[in-house]
Every structure is written in structure tokens, then in C-alpha cells.
A and B are shown apart, each in its own frame.
Chain A
Amino acid sequence: MVTNYLIDGPITQNVIAHLVEKIGGRTESGGHSIFLGQVRAAEINGKKVEAIEYSAYEAMVKVEADKIKESVLSDFDDVNTVDIVHSTGIVKAGEISLLVFVSAGHRHQAIEACSKTVELIKEKLPVWKKEIFDDNSHVWKQNKTV
């Protein structure tokens, strides 16, 4: 269950399908843009990423995700809805850990606003990740700052 933008574990097909169904009925929208962030089995120094463990400052995720939504809705006048879901806990390689779903009247702003939302999430959402390797070692990652 998604609570304040967060879900424990990977984002499943059911979560994605539920959003498509819920948003799909809005007749003022002509285009939806969906971004799915997936855990990649990256190879680093001969070790493979098996999973990522995400942790979050939940109260602040709510504050920051609300601000991201508000800013995207304000900057893109054709956008109708912005939905964000981020995983916490363990997400294995090949599983989905981020969902951004933007609906707009037309495709151009749907795509641009979706991209903008992903960038704002990477910059502002108080979430941390630990890459767990196949030898059980781990490393803390951080996003590249612009």
C-alpha cells in the first residue's frame, strides 16, 4: 500500500496498473507519461549489485514530494496530475523502485513534466540507498549534483 508517496518493497505491476486505471478515466487528459526507475545489476569492481536497500525520512518525503508536485503543476499549465511512488526497504535488481506518472492535455508537457519531476526527485527527496552486492558487501550511493 502506498502511504505518503512511499511503498515498502518494489513497486509491483498492480500498483502501476491501478494508477493507469485510476488516472485513465480523466477525460481532460490526452497524454500520459510514465517513468519507471529500476534497480540495475550494475557491476562495480567485479561485484554485481543484487539489490538496493532504500531508507527515507518519511515525514520530510511528504513535505518535499508535495512541493515537487505543486511546482510541476504550477510550471506546466497543461499538466493535470502528477503521481509519485518511491520504494523503501529492499528492491532487487530488475524490480521497480520509482514511479512517476504525469497526465496532461497533450503529449509535450506530459513528457517534459515527467522528466522534470524525476530530476526534482533526485535532487530533493530525502531518500538514501545502499547498494548490496553479490558478496554481501554494500556501499552507500549518492546522486550526482548538477
Chain B
Amino acid sequence: MKIKVLFFGVLAEVAGTAGQNYEEVKSFNDLIQMIKDDYPEFVNYNYRISVNNEIINNDLLLNDGDEVALMPPFAGG
């Protein structure tokens, strides 16, 4: 599956990019591991994950073309 991954807030700064596309993604857990391998520094930060604009708390079935975002705690307002 091809998955678009976005990084926000401090994660984007630390990664040096607003995100990247991942090809050959087999599952949600597979994707998370690929991101951790590419960006080991993320282990120092708290973040939540959304899939197609919905925050998720557990792993789930991804579909080709899904958009996944890694979001540090919000700071709006």
C-alpha cells in the first residue's frame, strides 16, 4: 500500500520535513516501524496519530492512499 505520512509541530522540525510517502506498506504496525526506523529521534516526543483526519488509539486496517498524521499535543487558541 502507498501511504502518505504527515509530521506536524516539533516533529516536522526535528525530522526536517513535513512528511513523506511510504510505499510497500503492509500494515499499520509495519508503517509505524518504518517511521521509527527513519526518524529514531521521534522516541523523545509525545504524539497522537490520525488516519484520514480521525485520531486513532489502536492499530487499524489501512487502505491504499490513506493519509496518516503524527501530531504532537495541540496548541491552538
A: residues with CB less than 8 A from B are 37, 54-57, 59-60, 63, 86, 98, 118, 121-130, 140-143, 145
User: Which residues of B (38-72) have their CB < 8 Å from a CB of A?
Assistant: 50, 53-54, 67, 69, 71-72
Question: A141, B50: Cβ atoms under 8 Å?
Answer: no
Question: What size tier do the contact residues of chain B reach?
Answer: 10 to 19
Please state if B75 and A86 are interface contacts (CB–CB under 8 Å).
Answer: no
Distance (whole angstroms) from the CB of B6 to the closest CB of chain A = 7
Pair B75/A129 contact, Cβ less than 8 Å? yes
Contact B10 A140 (CB under 8 A): yes
**B53 touching A59 by the CB < 8 A rule?**
yes
Return the contact of A98 from the options B67, B72, B77 (Cβ within 8 A): B77
Q: How far apart are the CA atoms of A140 and B74 in the complex, in Å? A: 10
Q: How far apart sit A16 and B72, CA to CA, in the bound complex (Å)?
A: 30
Inter-chain contacts of B16 with A (CB < 8 A): none
Contact across chains for B53 and A63 when beta carbons are under 8 A apart: yes
Q: Which residues of B contact A (CB under 8 A)?
A: 6, 8-10, 12-13, 50, 53-54, 67, 69, 71-77
Interface core residue of B9, B50, B69 (most chain A CB under 10 Å)? B9
Residue of B nearest to A129 (CB): B75
User: Are B76's CB and A86's CB within 8 A?
Assistant: yes
17 further contact pairs, Cβ within 8 A, besides A63-B54, A127-B77: A57-B8, A57-B50, A63-B53, A86-B77, A122-B74, A122-B76, A122-B77, A126-B8, A126-B76, A128-B9, A128-B10, A128-B72, A128-B74, A129-B76, A141-B75, A143-B74, A143-B76
